[in-house]
Amino acid sequence: MGQGVGRPERRSKSLRLDGYQTIMTAEEEEEEEAAECAEDVAEKHSQKLKAICGQADLKNEAVGLYNIGLSCCLNSLLQVFFMNRNFTAILRRIKVPFDAVEQKQSVPYQMLLLLEAMQRGKHKSVHPTGLAKCLSEHRVRLFVLYDASQLFLILWNLIKSQITNSHLAESLADLYTIRLQEYLVCQKCLLETKKNSNMLMLPLPMFSHDSHRVRTLEDSLHCFFAPEHLTGDNMCHCKRCDKKTVCLQGMKVTCLPQTLTLHLKRFCSKHGNDTQKIGHYLSFPQNLDFRQILTREQYQPDFPEEGSGLYDLFAVVAHSGSARCGHYCAYIWSLMEHKWYCFNDSSVCQVSWDDVKCTYGHAGLRWSETAYLLVYRKKESAAAF
């Protein structure tokens, strides 16, 4: 759905106590020397690779990715990851797997190699073949129509699960995780039940609760966070009343991440399993202020700081075509050059904000290009790098 032609640390050398000696055969000595030599080579390669990738965001020229089999969705998401310096700062600090088989199966390592190829090569575009083969080992195959929101979650979870350093894995989680608190209030006895939850993206509706079209991102956020009365068949069991009662259900934000991903739910199922695309107009701003969009009850950060709710638009993953056959590309703001670029597989070109606004949508155009994923970056994080 939503896509078409265009989802062990290196073992440290053991310490030997003074006066303690071991007797080894010549064969064992050779094996140990060979192992130490291999470890040294791997360590040097790891340091060299990190040094190279540490310069990744210093190269001004944007590099494309070839479409190698309905991979426009994958290519667009990879560009959004790579252009985010908060993400590459984590990626270039990963521990390189020592074993060759592990290297081929490590998604973070293969992403690091691809980033190196993009930054060191002299070509305008590179083939993400190694990463694609690695992803196929994890059942993410080519020539499959992926939904960008689903593939983003698959990629992110693979990356996090394969980062062996717990501190880096936690940093990745902090970078993307939206922390919420859900609540349920019985309207008869006013018993309130709370539950904390985490999300990697907010799935925002294209229609309001009364089935009217949502025209702006701000209104879509209002709809998502609006409290809802659960009545009739949707009533919940109240422990105090010991029966099903009318309840008020809602949620509030307790922590917003540095990189905020918003999913515009433009694909919906109608008439059974038939999936259709919603192409109507929905505008989104270059800047967001959650203190202005949400109420004080809806936005209650655990650690409120000045400017903590301010965001700048960083990337737009746009979809053209229908739910059955289409194409993805990514509009991304260059943090180094302060310019918008369109990454359309191997084609990369500079664009204007007016070009990005064309992804607002147009219901009258069957092949209309519409924004599907919006990525915002917290203002202070942009200044920190």
| Residue positions annotated with a catalytic role | 72, 327
Query: How many helical (H) and strand (E) elements, i.e. helices and strands, does the chain have?
Result: 12, 18
Residue recorded with tokens 């990525």: 375
First to last CA, the chain: 36
Do β-strands 247-255 and 228-230 pair in parallel, antiparallel, or remain unpaired? antiparallel
Reported residue count of the chain is 385
C-alpha span between 213 and 205 (Å, rounded): 9
Q: E strands within the chain? A: 64-65, 125-126, 178-186, 192-199, 202-204, 228-230, 236-238, 243-245, 247-255, 259-264, 267-270, 274-277, 287-289, 310-321, 326-334, 339-344, 347-351, 369-378
Report helix, strand or coil for 350. strand
Cβ atoms of residues 202 and 224 within 8 Å: yes
Cβ atoms of residues 132 and 144 within 8 Å: no
Strand partners, 199: 178
Strand partners, 185: 192, 248
Answer positive or negative: Cα dihedral of 135, 141, 146, 150: negative
C-alpha span between 255 and 173 (Å, rounded): 12
Strand partners, 277: 267
Distances (CA, A) of 310 to 52, 259, 285, 376: 33, 11, 12, 9
C-alpha span between 204 and 219 (Å, rounded): 10
C-alpha span between 5 and 327 (Å, rounded): 6
In the chain, how long is the greatest CA-to-CA distance?
84
Q: How many CB atoms lie within 10 A of CB 267?
A: 19
